Structure 1
């Protein structure tokens, strides 16, 4: 399975991010291209622990999280369309510098090459292994790149 911890996979993701432009249009969902890029950057920073976030699993996640996690990382099946973003990752700003945001996301993708955040707890899935984080981080990036045809 693909993981962001694989250098070739990171290079593939970066190549796909570079195909996005300010004229890219979503094939599904409510985000525009700037919102998707900012969402993806903010999400990667959360996983990487960039801003020292406080991690907490939500109540529904405590009940269903492990089962949902296993379902999401068991194979190469892409994430389904129109999955709602966690409330901390909804981007309200509709405009911004797309090229600057692409650069920021690319930098975060590259940072997975030296991932070291044992404190990471997904807000729904809970505690994840390094392997699960790598697979899911790839799937999350792939999901949004496919959303914009990249």
Structure 2
């Protein structure tokens, strides 16, 4: 299963990230490319432990049930998968600035390996192993890159 601890997978994501343009056509959702990249960077900040969001109620109730459905296979995340309100980006962002921020975070996570991964619970899924974080971060990045055809 692809994950961000695999050097080739991290390089693939970085290359795809570079293909995004401010006018890349959105295939689903409401965010533009800069907002989606900022959203992905915020998620990566959680994965490396820079931010420590609280658990959401619905995640406490069903997160444990959905976790194996999302992380236990090669299937990409579905279009319009919901996100927690605190991770939504609605203001205008600069794509190049957000791209650089996300690229640094991907490198930090990928090269840091499991020891650089947070031990804080995910806001929806709860406790994740470093390997689960690596799979989830790949799937999340892939989801938003596919959103714009990258």
Query: Structure 2-normalised TM-score?
Result: 0.92
**2:39 maps to 1:42:** no
1:72 Cα deviation after fit: 0.4
Return 5+ residue gaps in structure 2 as ranges.
none
Correspondence for 1:91: 89
Q: 1:78-114: per-residue Cα shift (whole Å, max 9, x none)?
A: 00000122111111213x3211211111111111120
Question: Which of 70, 77, 80 in structure 2 is aligned with 1:79?
Answer: 77
Alignment root-mean-square deviation, CA? 1.3
Query: Structure 1-normalised TM-score?
Result: 0.92
Question: Distance in 2 between the 1:74 and 1:60 partners?
Answer: 20
The 8 Å contact of residues 121 and 127 in structure 2, kept in 1 or not, is answered as yes
Q: What is the aligned residue count?
A: 147
Q: 1:6-53: per-residue Cα shift (whole Å, max 9, x none)?
A: 111100000000001111121100001111011111111111112xx3
Question: Distance in 2 between the 1:38 and 1:114 partners?
Answer: 21
Correspondence for 2:66: 68
